[in-house]
């Protein structure tokens, strides 16, 4: 069954989340208090409504209570963001992701019922710093405080070795969940060979992934 989402607040952040979800074929409804924002978004996401999410009745009317996951993307208006989160909680929405503009709002939103809190500037700054710290790290997604999903480029001089042989799971507690070979992604088996110029998609603690990067790219020399 397709997952349903409501994205509230169609600034740059909210719109970008909404478009991505729509491209992933999710059921999506968008709401913004501004007619102009809705007019701009509706060309790309047909299910857009004008509404004030601080009003419980408005959210009820659009059926927010039966939606799987709500994203509160109102950044600047703290009062509106708080009231919206509380309303969604009151309506029994199971997953509520709130965009916070400051890290010290994290605890407050959690107490109000948010199941996850995103600080976009912080998340992209952390991701950028981690990417540029190593030439081999191509993409970095922080899963939580300790864990990350990271794409690592395998050096040019790496000699083909099987995943069983590399044994990253036991050596570092890091899993290779995917390999991109000649631009094609696939889910590997232990006997598959990792080759020069492949890109590995790894999951593990941030510290251990750094060690894997050093290990793989040292093996290449
Ligand atoms: P961004 O940083 O994502 O570009 P922004 O700074 O342009 O956002 P914000 O003030 O963070 O704008 O608000 C994001 C959106 O939330 C705006 O389009 C605004 O109209 C909408 N919004 C604000 N209050 C409400 C509300 N009560 N109900 C619904 N939408 C709201």
Model pLDDT for residues 191-208, shown as the tens digit of each residue: 999 999 999 999 999 889
Q: How far is the CA of 30 from the centre of ligand 1 (A)?
A: 12
* SS3 assignment, position 142: strand
- What is the H or E stretch that residue 76 is in? none
Rounded CA-CA distance 71/17 in Å is 9
Q: Tokens at residue 13, please?
A: 């952040």
Same fold, 4-132 and 137-219: no
Report the 10 Å Cβ neighbour count for 35: 9
For the chain, which residues make up each domain, given as ranges?
4-132, 137-219
- What is the H or E stretch that residue 82 is in? helix 78-90
Q: Which CATH class is domain 4-132?
A: alpha beta
- Reported confidence tier of residue 99, pLDDT bands at 50, 70, 90: very high
Q: How far is the CA of 94 from the centre of ligand 1 (A)?
A: 23
Q: Tokens at residue 29, please?
A: 């409804």
The reported pLDDT for the residue numbered 219 is 55
Ligand 1, atom 10, residue with closest C-alpha: 76
Q: Is 97 in the pocket of ligand 1 (CB under 6 A)?
A: no
Ligand 1, atom 22, residue with closest C-alpha: 9
Q: How far is the CA of 73 from the centre of ligand 1 (A)?
A: 7
Rounded CA-CA distance 139/153 in Å is 10
Q: Is 54 in the pocket of ligand 1 (CB under 6 A)?
A: yes
CATH of domain 137-219: 3.30.70.1450
Summarize the confidence of residues 55-72 as an average pLDDT: 96
CB–CB of 202/177 below 8 Å? Answer: yes
Ligand 1, atom 8, residue with closest C-alpha: 11
Q: How far is the CA of 10 from the centre of ligand 1 (A)?
A: 6
For ligand 1, pick from 6, 30, 33 the residue to mutate: most ligand atoms within 8 Å of CB: 33
The reported pLDDT for the residue numbered 104 is 87
Rounded percentage of the chain residues whose pLDDT exceeds 70: 99
- Reported confidence tier of residue 116, pLDDT bands at 50, 70, 90: very high
Q: How far is the CA of 14 from the centre of ligand 1 (A)?
A: 8
What residues does 32 pair with on adjacent strands? 50
Q: Tokens at residue 85, please?
A: 């989160």
Q: Is 75 in the pocket of ligand 1 (CB under 6 A)?
A: yes
The reported pLDDT for the residue numbered 221 is 46
Rounded CA-CA distance 85/142 in Å is 24
- Predicted TM-score (pTM) of the model is 0.74
Q: How far is the CA of 9 from the centre of ligand 1 (A)?
A: 5
């Amino acid at each position: 069954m397709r997952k349903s989402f409501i994205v509230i607040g169609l600034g740059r952040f909210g719109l970008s989340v909404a478009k991505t979800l729509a491209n992933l074929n999710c059921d999506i409804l968008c709401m913004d208090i501004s007619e102009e924002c809705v007019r701009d978004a509706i060309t790309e996401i047909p299910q857009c409504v004008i509404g004030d999410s601080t009003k419980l009745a408005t959210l009820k009317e659009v059926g927010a209570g039966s939606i799987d996951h709500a994203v509160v993307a109102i950044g600047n208006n703290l009062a509106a963001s708080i009231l919206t989160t509380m309303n969604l909680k009151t309506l029994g929405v199971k997953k509520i992701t709130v965009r916070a503009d400051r890290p010290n709002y994290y605890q407050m939103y959690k107490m109000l019922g948010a199941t996850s809190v995103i600080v976009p500037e912080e998340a992209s700054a952390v991701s950028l710093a981690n990417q540029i710290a190593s030439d081999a790290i191509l993409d970095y997604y922080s899963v939580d405080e300790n864990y990350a999903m990271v794409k690592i480029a395998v050096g040019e001089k790496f000699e083909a070795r099987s995943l069983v042989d590399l044994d990253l799971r036991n050596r570092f507690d890091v899993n290779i969940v995917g390999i991109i070979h000649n631009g094609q992604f696939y889910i590997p088996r232990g006997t598959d060979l990792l080759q020069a110029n492949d890109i590995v998609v790894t999951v593990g603690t941030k510290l251990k992934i750094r060690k894997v990067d050093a290990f793989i790219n040292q093996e290449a020399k």
